[in-house]
Amino acid sequence: MGFWLRLAQQAAFEAFHRRMAPLGLTPGRMALLLLLEEGPDRRQAEIAEALRIKPSNLAVLAGGLEAEGLIRRVEDPRDRRAVRLRLTPAGRALLRRAKQQEAQVEADLAARLDPATRTMLLDALRRIAGA
């Protein structure tokens, strides 16, 4: 099972890369942008936990996106150690295009799966991940 998980994940990554590389997005970047659209102004520690990455790696990720003007770091006035992240208009515009492309990625991956199988697959993956 581990073997096929590896190959499937590899295929998923390649599908993502094919569609998203022109937009300069990796899976990690995309996940962060989506999270900020859904709920802005979260602290980085909270975001790292949601994305299941280390805060140190999120710092690098966020630094890159900020340098490209896609997100902003906002100092929390109540706790000046904390940094809250939000999308810039440029980030929002990019995300709009990215979401269309991402639908294509999902379609590529699920091309040979009927909808019911796809639903079961996602459920099974979540359960394995949470074990």
Partner DNA sequence: TATTGTTATACTCTATAACTATA
Partner DNA sequence: TATAGTTATAGAGTATAACAATA
65 is a contact residue toward DNA (CB under 7 A): no
Q: How many residues bind its own copies (CB under 8 A)?
A: 39
38-65 in b/e burial notation, b at 16+ Cβ within 10 A?
eeeebbbeebbeebebeeeebeebbebb
- Could you give the string, one character per residue 35-74, with x where binding to its own copies holds by CB under 8 A and - elsewhere? -----------------x----------------------
63 is a contact residue toward DNA (CB under 7 A): yes
Alpha-carbon gap, residue 36 to 83, rounded angstroms: 13
80 is a contact residue toward DNA (CB under 7 A): yes
55 is a contact residue toward DNA (CB under 7 A): yes
SS3 53: coil
Q: Specify which residues 75 forms β-bridges with.
A: 83
Indicate the burial class of 25 (C-beta count within 10 angstroms; 0-12, 13-18, 19 or more).
buried
- Using the contact rule CB under 8 A, the part of the chain among 4-12, 62-70, 72-80, 86-94 near its own copies is 4-12
Alpha-carbon gap, residue 64 to 94, rounded angstroms: 15
Q: Specify which residues 23 forms β-bridges with.
A: none
Beta carbon of residue 75, minimum distance to its own copies (angstroms, whole number) = 29
Which of DNA, its own copies, none sits in contact with 58, Cβ below 5 to 8 A by type? Answer: DNA
> 9 or 119: whose CB is closer to DNA?
9
Residues that bind DNA (CB under 7 A): 6, 10, 26-28, 43-46, 53-60, 62-63, 73, 78-84
